[in-house]
Structure 1
Amino acid sequence: MSVQLSVGSTAALPALRLRPWQVDDVGSLVSAHRDPDLRRWLTSVISSDVDARRWIGSQHQGWADGSRFSFAVLEDGGEGFAAAVGHVTVKIGNDSSAEVGYWTAAEARGRGLASRALEAVVRWAFSEHSPIAVARLDLLHAVGNRASCRVAERCGFELEAVLPAQPPAFPTEGHLHVRPKS
């Protein structure tokens, strides 16, 4: 699990570092999951250090067995990279596609972090250095999650379909966005 991705700074935005989740991220993970706006869109909730350690362990297992590649997103706070403020993952499917997902902590929203981090992971997933061999990436989000829709569009994911609700995992209608490997 030595993969690290970087996104350079711009005049208005700090640099980002993406790396596999670590036990040191427990506090950031629990804190981010306290946000009711984030919890509204997630199917699982992390409410304690025990939950966070278990979740991080499952992310490590995903890297080990090649089924899921999850990245903590860290922002350069001017004195180096601080606590994790976001998450991007690639879940391998059963065919020639994989699914991407992401979230951003409340304090980091509205500054393009999700789009920049997702784009870095997409480039990695489609690169020759990636263990992922897929022809396309799928992105699913609840129809009401307008922010996720904007991130998908900014990153070149085209809306392909509106999907019916599938409770309990997906309790409302969803958007399926797709980005083929170019």
Structure 2
Amino acid sequence: MTAEIRVAPTDARAGLLLRRWRPDDLDVVVAAYTDPQQRQWTRFTVDGTAGGLEWLGVQERGWAAGDRMSFAVCEDDGSDVPLGHVVLKRPDRTGGSAEVGYWTTAAARGRGIASRALSAITEWAFTTYGDDGLRRLELRHDVGNEASCRVAEKNGFPFRELVAGAGELGEGEHLHVREAGGGS
């Protein structure tokens, strides 16, 4: 299974490299999770070095188990510094659906990185697991996270329903769904 995805550059933007998380990314993970906006919208809490190591361990164990394929999102310019995270969660590897998620560092927001990374992992997921029956990707975000809503819809994940009482803030979650072939 490929553990690296490349996104071609555009006229205005550098290419992206999606690669597995590594132990030397610890400082980036810890810094990302100290950002108040990151803490507001993510479910995993990272407090300091121990929390960062735990988070990196979750990513590594997911690859080993084959149920959580997570990627550090870097610009493909040789800098190799993660600007975000994108993940495919597929706990039932024989089922027809999986979930995707993402976040970006404060420095990367507003640059189209989340959208491009989501597009790449969506294509990768359907290509890699389509023959195994993957037909549906779900994307969830808290109701108030309008930026994630825009990213989802821009990438062919239309709003499907409100999941009441879910989410970090208890206000509910938006469920967005994309079917294989791009339909909702």
- Give the match for residue 14 of structure 1: 14
Where in structure 2 are there 5+ consecutive unaligned residues? none
Alignment of 1:1-182 (within 5 A): 3-76=3-76, 78=77, 80-94=78-92, 95-128=95-128, 133-166=133-166, 171-182=170-181
Q: State the Cα distance separating 1:2 from its structure 2 match.
A: 5.3
Query: How many correspondences in the alignment?
Result: 179
Q: CA RMSD in A?
A: 1.9
- Please identify which structure carries the higher helix content: 2
Matches of 2:87 and 2:10, distance apart in 1: 24
Deviation readout 1:125-179 (Å, 9 max, x if unpaired): 0004779641100000011100000000111001110110136x56221110000
C-alpha contact 2:136 2:178 (8 A) present in aligned 1: yes
C-alpha contact 2:100 2:139 (8 A) present in aligned 1: yes
C-alpha contact 2:98 2:137 (8 A) present in aligned 1: yes
SS in 2 for 1:160: strand
Deviation readout 1:79-98 (Å, 9 max, x if unpaired): x1331110001111444210
Matches of 2:72 and 2:132, distance apart in 1: 18
Matches of 1:131 and 1:62, distance apart in 2: 21
SS in 2 for 1:150: helix
SS in 2 for 1:127: helix
Letter in 2 for 1:73: V
Matches of 2:25 and 2:131, distance apart in 1: 24
Matches of 2:66 and 2:129, distance apart in 1: 14
Matches of 1:132 and 1:148, distance apart in 2: 28
SS in 2 for 1:152: helix
Q: State the Cα distance separating 1:48 from its structure 2 match.
A: 1.2
Matches of 1:20 and 1:72, distance apart in 2: 6
C-alpha contact 1:43 1:170 (8 A) present in aligned 2: no
Matches of 1:132 and 1:57, distance apart in 2: 27
TM-score, normalised by the number of residues in structure 2: 0.90
